[in-house]
Chains A and B, each alone.
Chain A
Amino acid sequence: MNKILLILQREYLTRVRKKSFWITTLLTPILITAIYAIPALLFFAGSDQKTVEIIDESGLFQQRFKNGKDYQFAFKKTPLTKAKTDLKSSKVAALVFIPRDIIDHPNGLQIFSEKNVSLSLENDIESIVQNEVRNQRLKRAGIDTQVIEDNRVNVNAETYSLEEGEEKSSHAGVAMGLGYVVSILLYFIVFISGSQVMNGVIEEKSNRIVEVIVSSVRPSELMLGKILGVGLVGLTQFLLWIVLTVSISSVTSTLLKSKLEAKAKTELSSKASQQQVEAAVKQMSEAGPGSKVMGLMDSMGTLPWVKILSLFLFYYLGGYLFYSSLFAAVGSAVESPQEGQQLIFPVTIPLIISMMLMNFVVNEPDSKVAFWASIIPFTSPINMMARVPFGVEWWELGLSMVLLVVGFVFTTWLASRIYRVGILMYGKKVTLKELSKWVFYKA
C-alpha cells in the first residue's frame, strides 16, 4: 500500500510540475470568462452608430423609427433620385424609400445601399413597416389600435416537476443544457486522462525502466499507483478550473458593472442623481446581453447543486477508473503511442457510443434507452450525468453506482492480468486475441 502511495506521488508531482499543466489550468478559465465577457465588451464598444436615411412620402412613419444602439434614423425630404446620387458620396449606411401608397402596395418599400444591407437591418425595417401597414389597414377597417394592443397576449409556459411532494419550478432547457455540458466534460476528462495513463505506461515500457520497478513492486501496484496519480491530477485541474473560473469571472463582472455605471453616468448629464444612474444601469443591463444570463442564473439557482457536484465527482472517478485501467492494459501491450492508438480503438468505442446515446438521453431523460444507458457501467458515467439535472430516482442512482463500482473493480482486475504480461513483452506485434489470452496466463 505504501508503495502505491509512493508511485502515486511520483506520477502526480511529475505531471503537476510540468509547464503544460499550468498553461491549460490557467488558460481554460480565462477562455470561459472570455466567452461571456467579450459580447459584453462589444456592447460597450458598439459606439460606431450608422445612419440610415429615410424618405417617407406617406408621412406615416415619423414616429415609428426609433434610434437604437446600432442605427440612427434621419428623415429627408429630397427626391429619391437626388438622394440616391448623394448616397454614394455620403457616409450613410442605407437609404429607405417609403412610397406614398405604401398601405395599398406594401411591396413598394425599397432599400438602397452602397454595400449589401445587413440582414438584421433589413428585417428591422421590414417589420416596422409591416406593423404600421397592418395597423393602418385595420384602422381603415374600423378596428381601434388600442383593441389590437390589448389583445396581444404572450404565452410563456412555466414548467413544474413534482419531486418529493413539493412543486419546484424547473426549466427543462437549463437541465438539458447542464446535462450536455456535464456529460461532455466527463467524456473529455475520461478520454484525456485515460490517454495520459496509456502514454505513461508506454513511456515506462519503452524506457525499459519498468523491469527495475517491477523488481521492487508488484505490477498491479505500479498500475494502480499510476492510475490514481493521473486521476488525482485530473481532479486537481478540475477543482482549480472551478475556483479560477469563479474568481476570474467575478472580478470581470465587477469590472464590467463599474464600466456600465460609468457609461450610464456619461450618457445622463454629469449632474444626475445616484438614483437616476441606478435606474439607467438597471435598464441597460436588462437590455444588454446580461439579461439572458440573469434569467439563466435564476433557474440554475433552483437546481440541486450539491447533489449534482457530488454525483459528478463520483461518476468522474468511477468512469475514469473503469476506463483508465483498460487504457493501461493496452499501453502495456505496445511499444509506441502510435501502436497504442490503433489498439485502443475497441476501448474507445463504448465511450463514443456513450456520447451518441447522450444526445438522445438529454432529450428523453425518462425513456427506456436513457434508463439502460445510465445503468450499464460502460455507458453509465456519461449518460447518468446527462440525466441527473432532470432528477433521477434514488434506486436507479444506487443501482447505477453499485454496478459502476463492480465494473471498475472488474476492469481493473482484468487490466492488471494483461498488464503484468504486457510490460515485459517486447518485439511482438500484439493483437486483441493475444491480449485476451494473457488474462489467463499464470503469474
Chain B
Amino acid sequence: MSQPLLEARHVVKRYANHTALNDVSLSIPQGCIFGLLGPNGAGKTSLIRIINQITAPDEGEILLHGEHLQPKHIADIGYLPEERGLYKKMKVGDQLIYLARLKGLSQREATERLKQWFIKFDIRDWWDKKVEDLSKGMAQKCQFIATIVHDPKLIILDEPFSGFDPINANLLKDEILELKAKGATIIFSTHRMESVEELCDQIALINRSQVVLKGDKRAIKRQFMDQTYTLEYLGSLALSEHYELISSTEVEPGVYRSQVRILPGGHVNDLLTQLIAQVELKQFSEHVPSFNDIFIQVVGETPTQALIP
C-alpha cells in the first residue's frame, strides 16, 4: 500500500477537566473520502483542530506526506468548520481574496481562481455584494469556495451539508466527488449517516475520545453482517432449529417478507434448500447493515440523539 496522506500516531489531547483524545491513531490514504464519525463531544473537532495546527497534541504526532506537521502545511489544507461565518460588512470578492491570500495565494492568483469558481457556480453578481446581504445558503457556498480555492491536498469538511437546501446539497456532493477525482483527499466529519453511505470510502468512529471502529467502508459493513437474510416468498414456512425467524410481514396477500438469522450449525445453502422445498421464493438477499445501525450498535445511542449536546 502506498504512503498514506495523513497519519495520526497515538495522539493524546487533554484539557483542564477531561481528555479529548486518548491514544488516537488513524491512517488516511491518498485520494479517498474519509468519514470521521462520532457523537458530539467525542473528540472529532479536537482532532480536526490538531490537524489544522490550531492546537497542538499533548502526546503523539501527526504526519502529512510522511512529514511532521509544520506551518508550511497550512497551504496544503482547506478547512470548513462546522460553526462558520464571514465578515458581515465585507464584500464577498474582497473577503474571499483575503482568505485565499492568508492561505498563501498571491492577490492576482486568488482573484483569477475565484473568478473561475464564481463562473462555475454561476454567482458572478455576488462579487461586490456585502456578506450581510447574502442568504445563509449563499454564504455557505462562498465559504466552500474559500475552503478549496487554494487547491489543498487535504480538505476537511465539518458537517458540510448543514444549512444547504437539497439542490445545493447535491451540487456540493458533486463538487466533493469531483475534487476526489482530481486527487484530493477529503476528511468528512458528520452525524448524517446517509451521506456517509453515499460518499465515504473509509471511516473512523470516535466515541469517548477513542477510535472504536476504523477501516474500509465495505469491510466494516461485512464485519457487521450478522448472517441475517431478507426473503420474500409465497406460501407458509417452517424452518429447522438452526434458523431464527426475526420478523415477518405480509406485504401482499399471501406474500411475506421475513428476516432470518442463521444460528450456529446452519448454513446459507441449507437454508436455501429448505426454502425452495417449502415456498415460492421471490427474493433472497443478505442483509447489509446501514451505518445508522452500526453507529447505534457501537455507540449505544442514535446519531441524532447524540446530536443534541
B169 to A: closest C-beta gap in Å? 21
A14 part of interface (Cβ distance < 8 Å): yes
List chain A residues, Cβ under 8 A from B80: 212
A149 to B: closest C-beta gap in Å? 72
Evaluate contact between A211 and B88: CB separation under 8 angstroms.
no
Comparing B33-41, B94-102, B209-217, B295-303, the segment that makes contact with chain A is: B94-102
Complex: A7 Cα to B101 Cα, angstroms: 10
List chain B residues, Cβ under 8 A from A219: 54
B289 part of interface (Cβ distance < 8 Å): no
* Total interface residues in chain A, CB < 8 Å: 25
B122 part of interface (Cβ distance < 8 Å): no
Q: A424-B54, A437-B16, A443-B56 are in contact. Are A211 and B102 (CB under 8 A)?
A: no
List chain B residues, Cβ under 8 A from A7: 102
Complex: A121 Cα to B58 Cα, angstroms: 83
Interface residues in B32-60 by Cβ distance below 8 A to A read 49, 52-56, 58
Evaluate contact between B86 and A215: CB separation under 8 angstroms.
no
Evaluate contact between B85 and A207: CB separation under 8 angstroms.
yes
List chain A residues, Cβ under 8 A from B71: 218
B239 part of interface (Cβ distance < 8 Å): no
Evaluate contact between A211 and B58: CB separation under 8 angstroms.
no
Chain B positions 58 through 83: 1 when the CB is less than 8 Å from some CB of chain A, otherwise 0:
10000000000001001001011101
* Total interface residues in chain B, CB < 8 Å: 29
Evaluate contact between B79 and A212: CB separation under 8 angstroms.
yes
List chain A residues, Cβ under 8 A from B272: none
List chain B residues, Cβ under 8 A from A14: 87, 89-90
Chain A positions 422 through 433: 1 when the CB is less than 8 Å from some CB of chain B, otherwise 0:
001010000000
Complex: A209 Cα to B147 Cα, angstroms: 12
Q: A6-B102, A212-B81, A216-B103 are in contact. Are A207 and B74 (CB under 8 A)?
A: no
User: Closest A-chain residue to B48, C-beta based?
Assistant: A215
If over half of B's interface residues share one DSSP class (helix, strand or loop), that class is named, otherwise mixed; here it is loop
B146 part of interface (Cβ distance < 8 Å): yes
User: Closest A-chain residue to B49, C-beta based?
Assistant: A424
A10 part of interface (Cβ distance < 8 Å): yes
Q: A424-B54, A442-B58, A443-B56 are in contact. Are A209 and B86 (CB under 8 A)?
A: yes
Evaluate contact between B88 and A215: CB separation under 8 angstroms.
no
Evaluate contact between B84 and A211: CB separation under 8 angstroms.
yes
List chain A residues, Cβ under 8 A from B90: 14
B97 to A: closest C-beta gap in Å? 10
Evaluate contact between B85 and A216: CB separation under 8 angstroms.
no
List chain B residues, Cβ under 8 A from A207: 85-88
Q: A6-B101, A207-B86 are in contact. Are A212 and B146 (CB under 8 A)?
A: yes
A284 part of interface (Cβ distance < 8 Å): no
B54 to A: closest C-beta gap in Å? 5
Residue of A7, A10, A424, A441 most packed against chain B (CB within 10 A): A10
A324 to B: closest C-beta gap in Å? 20
A220 to B: closest C-beta gap in Å? 12
List chain B residues, Cβ under 8 A from A442: 56, 58
7 A-B pairs with the lowest CB-CB distances in the bound complex, closest first: A208-B85, A216-B102, A207-B85, A215-B52, A215-B79, A211-B81, A208-B83
A-B contact pairs, 7 of them (CB 8 A): A6-B102, A203-B87, A207-B88, A209-B87, A211-B81, A218-B71, A437-B16
Chain A residues engaging chain B, CB cutoff 8 angstroms: 3, 6-7, 10, 14, 203-204, 207-209, 211-219, 424, 426, 437, 441-443
Chain B residues engaging chain A, CB cutoff 8 angstroms: 16, 49, 52-56, 58, 71, 74, 77, 79-81, 83-90, 98-99, 101-103, 143, 146
